Structures are given as structure tokens and as C-alpha cells.
Amino acid sequence: MKLPWRGNIARMSGYVPGEQPGEEGFVKLNTNENPYPPSPKVRKAISGALDASLRLYPPPDSTALRRQAALTYGMDENRIIAGNGSDDLLAMIARAFVGEGGTLACPTPTYTLYDTLVAIQGGKVTGVPYPDDFTLPKALFRNRAPVTIVANPNSPSGTTVPLARLSELADAVTGLLVIDEAYADFADETAISLAREKENVIVLRTFSKSFSLAGMRIGLGFAHPVIIEGLNKVRDSYNLNRLSILAGEAALRDAAWMERNVSRIRRTRERLSASLPGVGFFPYPSQANFILARKADGGSALPTYEALKARKILVRYFDTPRLANCLRITVGTDDEISVLLDAMKRIMRLRKSR
């Protein structure tokens, strides 16, 4: 039977997330998860809620999480929205601002979920290529799309653009500017101040990276109350479950735990960055919990990706013209990075001896 799919859904392909191997024993450096566990206070908060209250729907506006976020980030509660991961917030933005034939502008390469969410709406992404140094492309400032998104730090490059440039971009664009700060806790700067100052900016955060809670699906958006009010219209009524709301609240209360892990990851990141040229890869400067590294001889990085996978080390390879000579490597523990570097050294030697 030929089902009556909407044309754009029939034509599009779904988002392909990074591999989650079923078997144990992989060194997993492919989806930018945090190698350290979440705060013990998160576990305590969740286990304390495993009772009869689970029969009740959660508070629709994630009250406790938003209240704590208001304290942590110094922002009024009516400027905060919670998402089932920041992907959920991105989906709300696409739903609310991109219609059939609509557009969304972003510098590329970037997080490819933006393409998928816009395709679901029947719209199109206007990608503006980053120059080689990953500064904001000038053409982005002239775009007239209803939504512009900048991931900062960007994925997969790990690079950042300065807050001052984002502020200029907010003034230049005619629509909404989304600043996707999934990795901002690993960086030197944040644009949260723009969510207070500008009426057309939303800043997104996730608990999946710095707070080690990818499995709980928690995200936050900060923006002018009018933006929050509009997004609430398209939000699933109970988008966060009871346990995620409590986990997010507890994680924010123990920000020191997160900050300690971030410091460790930043230290390991500098070590990885310094070591990559020795194994035949040049790192882009990263302020995230991963590094994009370009093969020094300019060739495809696919053979290295495959050789690492054969040794049960997973990194991310993107089969696109701009990224085919690169690997994106999540910053794991020091031990994991030692295993990776050792394997990369062996793979490089094997190639040379052939």
C-alpha cells in the first residue's frame, strides 16, 4: 500500500546519530558524552522519587528545574524554557518559526540535526560556509531567514566566535538568532547575557555534555518572555519526565561537581591537542569537549577511522567533501586518550611501513 506521507517526509532521510555500539569494551569517543559520572546528588534525587508519584503526570512547565535555573543563571523564570534535551528545544523553534517553504540560515559545517528539523517542516536550510579559519561568514550578517542558528562552540569544528560578533549578528539579522551553547561550559565565554539584552536571541544549553546527563535528556532555553511564551504553544505538554526534572535541578545545585569534571576535560583536551601532530593529525583550536583533527597529509581520514574501529575505538567520521580528511574525537579520560594516541601511532607506523 502506498501511504499518504507528506511529500517532504517521503523525500527526506532521517537524522543519523553517532553509533551506540551494543557490545561492551569500546573506547567511545564519537558522541561527545562526558567520560565522568554525574553528581551523586542526581542519583539521590532520582532514587528518592521512585515511588507512587510516578503515576502522576510531571509538572508541565518543569517548575523545579526552571526555578533552580533562574537562581543558577540569574535569569527570571519567565525567560526560561526546559526541553527534553536541547534537540527538543531546537524542534520547537523549527515548529514555531519555519513553515512549508521557509528557511533557516546557519554557517556550515555544523550540527546536521538543523537540516533534519527544517526538512520535517518542509523548509530548507540556507548554509553559509565557514571560511577556513571558522570565523563567522560575512554573508550570514546579510541573511533574511526567519531563523539563524550558530552553534558556539561549533560542532564538529570545536571552534568559537567571540560574544561581540554574536551581538553584532543579533543586531544584523531580521529574525530570531539561536545560539546553541551545547558545549559552552567547556569554553571561555557564554552568550547568556544576550538572552537578557536582545529581544531576538535565544540561548540553548544542554545537560548532556558538561553535566554528564545525556541519558536523561535535559535542555534549557533562555530568551525574552515573548519568545518563551510562543515556544510554549508548540511544546509537548509534558515534555520532561518527573525524573529528568529532578535530575536537572540536582545537577544545577551541584554545579561544583560539573565544574571539576569540565576542568579535567579541558586539561585532557590540551594534552590531546598537543599530541595529535605527532600521530599525523592537525587539531583545530577547540573550546568544546571534542577536537576536530585534519589528516596532516590531506588524505581521507576514513582508513584511520576504520583502523581505530577495528581496535574497538570509536571516533566520528563525516563523509562530506569538507570533512572527509578529518576525525572528530571526543575528549575522554586521560587513560582513554592514551589508548587512542597509542593506537593512532601504531596505525601511522603501519601505513608508513607499507
Ligand X SMILES: Cc1ncc(COP(=O)(O)O)c(C=O)c1O
DSSP 135: P
Q: What is the CA radius of gyration of the chain?
A: 21
79 vs 209, which CB is nearer to ligand X? Answer: 209
Q: Which of 151, 166, 293, 326 binds ligand X (CB under 6 A)?
A: 151
Q: Which of 214, 243, 302, 307 binds ligand X (CB under 6 A)?
A: 214
159 vs 280, which CB is nearer to ligand X? Answer: 159
Nearest CA to 248 out of 290, 192, 206 is that of 206
Cell digits for 224?
A: 525574552
Binding-site residue total for ligand X (CB under 6 A)?
13
With 0-12 / 13-18 / 19 or more C-beta atoms within 10 angstroms meaning exposed / middle / buried, residue 41 is: middle
Q: How far apart are CB 191 and ligand X at their closest, in Å?
A: 14
Q: How far apart are CB 347 and ligand X at their closest, in Å?
A: 26
Is 116 an interacting residue with respect to ligand X (CB under 6 A)? no
Q: Which of 62, 68, 148, 155 binds ligand X (CB under 6 A)?
A: 155
Measured CA distances, 60 to 8, 210, 248 (Å) = 31, 25, 15
Nearest CA to 235 out of 15, 55, 59, 61 is that of 61
Per-residue contact flags (x/-) with ligand X for residues 73 to 112, judged by CB under 6 A: ------------xxx-----------------------x-
Is 206 an interacting residue with respect to ligand X (CB under 6 A)? yes
Stretch that binds ligand X, among 72-80, 124-132, 206-214, 225-233 (CB under 6 A): 206-214
176 vs 347, which CB is nearer to ligand X? Answer: 176
> What CA–CA distance (Å, rounded) separates 121 from 44?
40
> What CA–CA distance (Å, rounded) separates 309 from 292?
17
Cell digits for 39?
A: 553528581
Is 32 an interacting residue with respect to ligand X (CB under 6 A)? yes
> What CA–CA distance (Å, rounded) separates 51 from 102?
45
155 vs 261, which CB is nearer to ligand X? Answer: 155
Q: How far apart are CB 50 and ligand X at their closest, in Å?
A: 23
Q: Which of 61, 180, 249, 336 binds ligand X (CB under 6 A)?
A: 180
209 close to 193: Cβ distance less than 8 angstroms? no
> What CA–CA distance (Å, rounded) separates 337 from 269?
9
What is the binding site for ligand X (CB under 6 A)?
32, 85-87, 111, 151, 155, 180, 182, 206, 208, 214, 219
